[in-house]
Structure 1
Amino acid sequence: METNRQDFLKKFNEAFATSDVDFILTAVSDDILWTIAGDKVIQGKDQFASSLHEMASPEPMKLKIRHLITHGKEAAVEGTMTTPNGKTYSFCDIYTFNGFKDAQIKEMKSYVVEEH
């Protein structure tokens, strides 16, 4: 049985796959810090929103979640996303929440590798 946090993270990742920017923005705190390992650091909701719009796909991506682990105020999701043109990316996202009940994501660290 999924916990509320696991269900939330599943929906959050589905929102990335479908470019549902509005849902994603409601899920993060105003001071969100998103580190994409080896690429960039995004700080604050305005910068986060701009990055989401730049990354948005006109067609949904295919999402496969392999692992979804939650513990206290931290969580991790690992899986793959495949773009409409067939490129597949493996990812692992580490999340830190700003509280327990009805909390928002305050920090994300993403590891992304293109599969060949």
Structure 2
Amino acid sequence: MTTRETFLKKFNNAFVENDLNFIFDSVTDDVHWEMIGEPVIYGKEALVEAMNKVKHSREMTLHINSMLITKDAAAVDGSMTMKDSDNVEKKYMFCDLYKFSLSEENKIKEVRAFIIDVTNAPGDKENSKQ
């Protein structure tokens, strides 16, 4: 496993574990963070503010399907499950695209996150049993 692969696994697990310090330490001061369909977050301070607002207290599970890594970019896709405010389990598929700073080791300068709710998607093994 490469250093970058290990870092990306830790970075994604930091969301599950609410390890905001690791997330903040892993991005550049001028980070651009975009969750498709939401306003882009510019800068570490704005990211800290946004993350503190959405910090979850519910149990989450994460499964990484694959990673593609180059010198200055990476893509990670996988799935996650968590319970909503009504204690109903929701399933999401995600693909995160990362760009890394070339001047700072393992610092993310840009994230584009695609997240899709597949809880009731056709073909979902769990839902097809119902």
Per the TM superposition, whether the score is higher than 0.5 is: yes
Which amino acid counterpart does residue 107 of structure 2 have in structure 1?
Answer: Q
2:52 is matched with 53
Q: Taking structure 1 as the reference length, what is the TM-score of the superposition?
A: 0.92
TM superposition outliers: structure 1 runs of 4+ over 3 Å: none
CA–CA distance in 1 between the matches of 2:102 and 2:67? 19
Contact between 1:31 and 1:106, CA under 8 Å: does it hold in 2?
yes
Matches within 5 A, 1:1-116: 2-84=1-83, 85=87, 86-99=89-102, 102-115=105-118, 116=120
The CA RMSD measured in Å over matched residues stands at 1.4
Q: Taking structure 2 as the reference length, what is the TM-score of the superposition?
A: 0.83
Query: Which shows bigger deviation, 95-104 or 79-88?
Result: 95-104
* Percent identity of equivalent pairs: 37
Q: Which runs of 5+ in 2 are unaligned?
A: 121-130
Q: Which runs of 5+ in 1 are unaligned?
A: none
Offset of 1:83 from its aligned partner? 1.0
Return the index of the structure with the highest Cα Rg.
2
